[in-house]
Amino acid sequence: MSSERSADGVRVWLVERTYSDDEQNIVILVYATPDGSRYLRKERSLTSFDDVRETTAAVDTDSAKLGTVDDPETQAEYAASAKRTREQYAPDEAV
């Protein structure tokens, strides 16, 4: 697997940001390894307009928290998105 490792674990890059259809004010963030083979899904509640929490281009996580991407098409999409994010932003930069 060609995922980057940081001092804190595996570095994953933002590949998808969507709003939940089921619940209001929930943002779903998907981060993936550079090769698109593993992912981390985070749900964030937007409690108010003045609730300012930056979404960074990358996060470091424990590999045990990562899911596996089984679909080859999704894996390719995640790899392409991770590459774009890596090329455009520093890991700790807000996106």
The pLDDT-based confidence of 23 (bands split at 50, 70, 90) is low
Residue 49 DSSP code: T
The per-residue pLDDT for range 56-91, each reduced to its tens digit, is 999 999 999 999 999 999 999 999 999 999 999 999
pLDDT for res 6? 53
Beta-carbon contacts of residue 77 (< 8 Å; ≥ 6 apart):
15, 36
pLDDT for res 19? 83
Domain ranges in the chain? 4-88
Distance CA 49, CA 79 (A): 32
Q: Select from 58, 70, 56 the least CA-distant residue to 33.
A: 58
Q: Are strands 38-45 and 26-32 parallel, antiparallel or unpaired?
A: antiparallel
